[in-house]
Structure 1
Amino acid sequence: MQRLKRFIFFVLVLQAALASAQKAPFTIHTLVLPKEIADRNNQFSGLFLRNKQLLLLSESRLQDRAEAKVYALDLASLDDQLSKKSQALAYKKYAIQNLDKVRARLDSACQTYEGLEGLTLVGDTAYFTIETTTPSTYCYLVKGALNDATTNITLDLDYLVPLPKPALTDGSHISNAGFEAATGYNKSLLLLFEYNYFAHDNYAFRIPNASRLPDIPQYVPVARLPFRVTDLVYEGKNRFTAINYFFNGADDSVYRTPAGDPNTRLIQDGKSYKNYCRLISLHYKRDKVSWKPLFELPAEYMTYNWEGLAAYKGGYFLINDKYGPSGQSTLLYLQRK
């Protein structure tokens, strides 16, 4: 009888532990965006929290005659909407100047501009990563001064940092991949490539003093990491949080992990594949980057292509580009319980 009681007690404790482990640490809120910002043609690719603003980076696809811009949502109005005091969101738009000139320089070097993918700030200096078409050898880093008075970001034409694309062993590049994840920390920058599952070395780039044009960015080894990395935010003490996303389409088959890999169970649904998204925690220590899972998004949010991440009040803002069931830009806030 005593053994039976102990067994029942053990089962109850185990069930409670499993229930606690499975309990989502966040409550998810969908923000109602102004029509201009919700427009899918913005194709947002990055977020950054600056003072009392949440900055939204448009991909700024100049080849499609898109406007080069960054939107800024007022944090106080975001708080009001989250607390249901008001739905209205105050915002303004920063025009990115000189991007057309940067694009012309890339094109003249046969490095074809595709769009802006990463955004981070150090003080009032904005840093952007530029993605190029797949055959291009380099992606690029540019910077510009953010001016609140004129609502402009003027790119410095003397600051253009080539970022060599990691390649497969046959020398070919990963289709449609760039340095999507960028963050500033301690006056430095850390830039993470979208694909980090090479059988050979995987690496990020570190720029120790962001304000100065580096001769060669520092290579930082990255522990082999499946799926795509689409944005990155600094959390303090050399720790970061990133979006780790998998798209089930055939065009992204390079991101599929092989049979027998423990990550494959996350992206397979029978014999087919399914979209998958989680947040992961990264640690930069002893000149290398390691990672671990943090939080898996609920099923209803897996089909959005999440491209932007910003940490706020113990939680996170997430934004997609244009792909997902809403058919437009969707901004979430993951509120810590």
Structure 2
Amino acid sequence: MKYFLLAALLCGSFAVCAQKPKFTIQGITLPAEIADRNNQFSGLYRHNNHLLLLSESRLQERAEAKVYALDLGSINAQLAKETQALTYKKYALLNLDKIRARLDSAGQVYEGLEGFTMVGEVAYFSIETATASPYCYLIKGELHDAAATITLDTRYLVPLPKPTLTNSTHIYNAGFEALASYDKNLLLLYEYNYFTHDNYAFTLPAAATTPDIPQYIPLRRLPFRVTDLVHEGKNRFTAINYFYSGNDDSVYRTPAPDPNARFIQAGAGYQNYCRLISLRYKHHQLRWKPLFELPAQYQTYNWEGMAAYQGGYFLINDKYGPSNQSTLLYLRKK
């Protein structure tokens, strides 16, 4: 009993206890068009028999506004070790240029699409803006499978106020990267959630026609980045919790005595780190605990998209990582 009590004390925060491996990891061979690093994928969503891949759609860099759809049947064939190329289609994102022009004219500089989820045939996306812009935005559009389009509703534009540091400055290059749907509601997490003052997420109903006002949900202080989020049922979610060691991201360096600091320390410097965490929404607040630490060979990828599938997860990076291209993994539950 005394050893049990000691373990409970050491893991009292349940946020830093070592996790046994819970998944095996398998890479998926992508077609050249999709593996192209210029897609800069930022979100995943499983919809019917497809895995949807959201491109950041950086219009300011003349990028195409699009979502790819990978056929899950061909993915399953690869996972079963069959030699089969993935089959896919591409959905054009219509009206994004009009929404971008509206933001830019108001001084809210569009930088790309980050979060992605769906409710029925309606797709929701979060827009990241330049650091100095006080708002990010939520938009939505109808998916038309036969036409291979997602037509964005130019009337639906929900401002999401960026949380700030105590000196009222914004976190560099941060937005609402994590977006998930649950019970016809939406949950959005900001990328940085380690403020010394209040940390919070946003929830709002998936309205049929008009925008609604986001409601605040308290969030227990969370180190590192949150780059995507998926609903698991019964108010449970899983998210990517990622740390990048570069100097531009020094604000994410968790200091001692926070025990999470040991994960990112490398001698006198820092190292990349990535894990999955589990979140629970209960009593109008969000709490989290670690779920799975990615193996060392996958720590240097910038994982930005996540989708649940058959008890496991798909993960995709943007363009950063040793492969220098889009890399899709499947984490299979043991």
TM-score (norm 1): 0.93
> Are 1:69 and 2:56 matched, yes or no?
no
Q: What does 1:1-337 correspond to in 2, within 5 Å?
A: 23-337=20-334
- Read off the aligned partner of 1:127 and give its amino acid letter: Y
Cα shift at 1:208: 2.4
> What secondary structure, in the 3-state scheme, does the structure 1 residue paired with 2:153 have?
strand
- Read off the aligned partner of 1:235 and give its amino acid letter: E
Cα shift at 1:210: 3.5
- Read off the aligned partner of 1:171 and give its amino acid letter: S
> What secondary structure, in the 3-state scheme, does the structure 1 residue paired with 2:155 have?
strand
Cα shift at 1:212: 4.4
- Read off the aligned partner of 1:104 and give its amino acid letter: A
User: How many percent identity over aligned positions?
Assistant: 73
CA contact (8 A) 1:207 1:214 kept: no
CA contact (8 A) 1:139 1:162 kept: yes
Structure 1: gaps (5+ residues) = 1-20
C-alpha separation between the residues in 2 aligned to 1:160 and 1:98?
12
Bigger Cα Rg: 1
Runs of 4+ in structure 1 off by over 3 angstroms are none
C-alpha separation between the residues in 2 aligned to 1:292 and 1:252?
23
TM-score (norm 2): 0.93
Cα shift at 1:24: 1.5
CA root-mean-square deviation: 0.9
> What secondary structure, in the 3-state scheme, does the structure 1 residue paired with 2:107 have?
coil
- Read off the aligned partner of 2:274 and give its amino acid letter: C
Q: How many residues align?
A: 317
CA contact (8 A) 1:309 1:316 kept: yes
CA contact (8 A) 2:205 2:212 kept: no
CA contact (8 A) 2:156 2:211 kept: no
Q: For residues 1-29 of structure 1, give each alpha carbon's deviation from its aligned partner in whole angstroms, at most 9, with x where no partner exists.
A: xxxxxxxxxxxxxxxxxxxx764211100
Q: For residues 185-222 of structure 1, give each alpha carbon's deviation from its aligned partner in whole angstroms, at most 9, with x where no partner exists.
A: 10000000000000000111101244343442101111
Q: For residues 251-306 of structure 1, give each alpha carbon's deviation from its aligned partner in whole angstroms, at most 9, with x where no partner exists.
A: 00000011221111010011110000000000000111000000000000000000
CA contact (8 A) 1:196 1:225 kept: yes
Structure 2: gaps (5+ residues) = 1-17
CA contact (8 A) 1:161 1:213 kept: no
The farther-off stretch of 300-309 and 210-219 is: 210-219
C-alpha separation between the residues in 2 aligned to 1:191 and 1:22?
26
